[in-house]
Amino acid sequence: MTGRDLVGDEPGPLLSPMTTDEFLNEHYGRSFVHIPGPADRFASLMTWPALNRLLREQRFVHPRLRLTKDNQPVPEQHYWRTVRTPRGGFQQLDVAQLLRHLRDGSTLVVDSIDMAHAPVLRVKQTLQRWLGAYVSTNLYASWGATHGFDVHWDDHDVFVLQVAGTKRWRIYPPTRPWPLLDDVQRGPKPDQPPTADLMLNAGEMLYLPRGWWHDVTADNRASLHLTFAVLRPTNVDFLAWIVQRLKAHDVARRDAPHAPGSQETHDVLRQLRYLLAQELTPTALSEYHAGQREEYALDPLPTLQAVEQPDPRRWDQDAAVVLLSTNAKLERTDTHAVLHIADRTCAAPHTQINVLERLLQGRPVPLAELIEACSAPAVGDLVTAGLLAVV
């Protein structure tokens, strides 16, 4: 299975043999899921040679690239060195020290690996488009049997894709429902045996909802896995957004009354309750989610050809175009298929709907083919708006 086989409108191949409906209806946000698969299932997403190249070619800096061991960060000066030049200095990985720490059991962590590696980005975009929530990615590589992290829970849902090697996962249910990172109270660590004690092998996937405790260890073989963290907005987030909207009202901006039993206090509280009731509607919730999708939907990939020449017919017609926004949907009318991307559209005849479907699935589409389907002005407008990119 290739990386392109893993992406689309929905992550069916990631979940197979489970269906997407089964996952959403029975497990999403509710319970952990362990899905077996062939050992090479995720091999196209990352390889050891590819990781070597990224460490060489990308100017990763701490803490985006870091080491952990036994639940503690390894001090950055232990594996970074300062290269001094006549024009100043810069940080560079100390390869000898990096290898020594990894050999001694440290775990290598790289945040936002999707921004450096296109196959991972395509999976992230698929999950983000499907779930309508922001997704971030991390890479973890280890070679020893020590703990990178102690038993803990995350403040987000997570999909774990084991690319190579094996990790042991001990999983415990939440000890506090829907815990928050900045919560007013912490749930205790689990004091019962794990709900699941499993080996996650290459090609297998694990899903954990927010708040599920887990303890992860590797054996003495090389292990490589990717995590896709789903940051779902909470009701607290929604209420904070509502409070910002209340600033438009005079009574919300007033000084809070001091006398608890006064008529003024009674009147102000009554007005505030009324304002909240007016704002807390299904329409407001839809507006909130739409605004959230617009915040994180775009991948920042510019098309510099558009600076000098906005007409895409003058660009390299052998190039391909990719969709940058995960805030997109396809609508079918009697005569056309219309791809809605943020506040813009791209329409094509039904005979060329496959072009838009491939674009929506995160697949590159030949530039000439997209121009023929949607018109040059439409393509140029979408590229200029940062919604499409030529690659």
224-271 pLDDT tens trace? 999 999 999 999 999 999 999 999 999 999 999 988 889 999 999 999
Structure tokens at 192: 């019962």
Domains and CATH numbers, the chain: 3-231 (2.60.120.650), 235-295 (no CATH), 305-390 (no CATH)
| pLDDT for 4 | 53
Q: Does residue 188 register a pLDDT over 70?
A: yes
Q: Are 159 and 228 in contact (CB under 8 A)?
A: yes
Classify 193 as helix, strand or coil.
Answer: coil
Q: Does residue 153 register a pLDDT over 70?
A: yes
Q: Which residue has the higher pLDDT, 219 or 378?
A: 378
Which position has the token pair 């896709």? 228
State mean pLDDT over 118-139: 92
**8 pLDDT tier (thresholds 50, 70, 90):** low
Taking only the tens place, the pLDDT of each residue in 101-119 is 999 999 999 999 999 998 9
Taking only the tens place, the pLDDT of each residue in 307-363 is 999 999 999 989 999 999 888 889 998 889 999 998 899 999 988 999 999 998 888
Classify 281 as helix, strand or coil.
Answer: coil
C-beta neighbour count of 218 within 10 angstroms: 24
Classify 18 as helix, strand or coil.
Answer: coil
Q: What share of the chain is helix, strand, coil (3-state, %, to 5)?
A: 35, 25, 40
H/E stretch holding 94: none
Q: How far apart are CA 337 and CA 354, in angstroms?
A: 10
Q: How far apart are CA 391 and CA 318, in angstroms?
A: 10
CA dihedral 343, 347, 350, 351 (to 10 degrees): -130
| pLDDT for 7 | 58
| pLDDT for 58 | 93
Compute CA distances 326 → 90, 272, 322, 333, 386, whole Å: 35, 37, 11, 22, 12
How many CA atoms lie within 13 Å of 45's alpha carbon, on the beta-carbon side? 30
CA angle 155, 160, 162 (to 5 degrees): 155
Cβ burial of 129 (10 Å; 0-12, 13-18, 19+) is: buried
Q: How far apart are CA 45 and CA 5, in angstroms?
A: 11
Q: Does residue 221 register a pLDDT over 70?
A: yes
| pLDDT for 261 | 87
**148 pLDDT tier (thresholds 50, 70, 90):** low
Which position has the token pair 């815990």? 179
| pLDDT for 6 | 63
Q: Does residue 171 register a pLDDT over 60?
A: yes
**71 pLDDT tier (thresholds 50, 70, 90):** confident
Structure tokens at 13: 């191949």
C-beta neighbour count of 140 within 10 angstroms: 23
| pLDDT for 144 | 80
Residue 260: asked if its preceding bond is cis (omega within 30°), the reply is no
pTM: 0.90
Q: Does residue 145 register a pLDDT over 90?
A: no
Structure tokens at 292: 């959230």
Q: Which residue has the higher pLDDT, 72 or 8?
A: 72
Q: Are 383 and 315 in contact (CB under 8 A)?
A: no
Q: How far apart are CA 258 and CA 104, in angstroms?
A: 61
Taking only the tens place, the pLDDT of each residue in 10-57 is 687 889 899 999 999 999 999 999 999 999 999 999 999 999 999 999
Classify 350 as helix, strand or coil.
Answer: helix
Q: What is the DSSP letter of 147?
A: B
Please, what is the end-to-end C-alpha distance for the chain in angstroms? 23
Q: How far apart are CA 116 and CA 138, in angstroms?
A: 11
Q: How far apart are CA 68 and CA 275, in angstroms?
A: 48
Residue 17: asked if its preceding bond is cis (omega within 30°), the reply is yes
